Amino acid sequence: MLGEVAIVCSRADPASLNIFERLLELEAWQEEEGYRCNGPFRLLIHDDRQSTLSGLDDRLADLGLHPEMVIFPCRHEAKAALPWFGGHFTGTFQDGRSQLSAAASMGLKSFLQNIAALAPPGYIVSAEATHHGPVDMKTPCFFAEIGSTKEQWSDNGAGAAAARAIMALQPKELPVFLGFGGGHYVQRQTELIFGTAIAFGHLFSNYQVAELNRDIVDEARRKSGATYAYLDRKSLRSEDRKKIVGILEELDLPMLRGREIRAQFPLPKME
């Protein structure tokens, strides 16, 4: 059963505002002091940038809200300018230090599955590597994004698809993996999200591996609830692969290859 979920939107972000407005159109919301309510969902809007929020757990508590998951609808910008839906977890790491928010692993998987079924024609769907803020979320969270230009951000059809995907969330208890390697859009990890009965927590692309150390990986494990790890081995340089393997062995976090994940955690058969 889905517990309390906070949907936190921003007027400063055109895609976030689009999704907020479509949510208001799609559902009947009860006005409360500082938020709107529909079933387990609590809908809020603010004036700041999504990625620069801080202290949100306390701000929600001040409103009497104690969600089990927070969703940040947001825009996604990319030079390729492709119509795109996706999501990611948040956190930063540099010079051996990290600040990672708790990852809503099951929430992101459910959102990606939903949006893949609801997306207008021509849209690509994928997960992304962990990046930007908020970095201090204790409540598990993820960003739900529309990309990649103003045309898509303000497209009511795209906003409605994202809104429906959020309202249809059905997180399930599944094994959670940390992911390492690949490009920013973590292609092989995305394929595993759709093709197996697992979820991913924090995801780290090739370009981020040099910044990782034992402490960062351990924080990612704890804040994802991860009990396994996956390496996109073909994408990683030999020295980077050895480094990550060594850290995971030290943390006693089992590593499974893609074929092993598919064998051990297949999708349920359709009846």
Do 26 and 69 belong together in one domain?
Answer: yes
Do 151 and 183 belong together in one domain?
Answer: no
pLDDT digits (tens, 9 = 90+) for 49-75: 999 999 999 999 999 999 999 999 999
pLDDT digits (tens, 9 = 90+) for 177-193: 999 999 999 999 999 99
pLDDT band at 98 (very low <50, low <70, confident <90, very high): confident
* Residue at which a domain ends, from 130, 145, 167: 167
pLDDT digits (tens, 9 = 90+) for 13-60: 999 999 999 999 999 999 999 999 999 999 999 999 999 999 999 999
Task: Round the average pLDDT of the chain to a whole number and report it.
Answer: 96
CATH code where residue 122 lies: 3.40.630.50
List phi, psi (to 5°) of 255: -110, 130
Mean of the pLDDT values across residues 147-160? Answer: 96
Q: What is the structure's pLDDT at 148?
A: 92
Do 115 and 186 belong together in one domain?
Answer: no
Mean of the pLDDT values across residues 93-114? Answer: 93
Do 76 and 185 belong together in one domain?
Answer: no
Task: Give whole-number Cα distances, 44 to 72, 215, 264, in Å.
Answer: 10, 34, 40
> Is the residue at 269 inside a domain?
no
CATH code where residue 216 lies: 3.40.50.10700
How many domains are there within the chain? 2
User: Among residues of the chain, what percentage have pLDDT more than 90?
Assistant: 92
Do 185 and 159 belong together in one domain?
Answer: no
Do 69 and 190 belong together in one domain?
Answer: no
**Domain containing residue 118:** 5-167
Do 226 and 97 belong together in one domain?
Answer: no
Instruction: Spell 18-57 as b/e; 16+ CB within 10 A means b.
Output: bbbbbbeeeeebeeeeebbebeebbbbbeeeebbebeebb
Quick check: 175 pLDDT over 90? Answer: yes
Q: What is the structure's pLDDT at 246?
A: 98
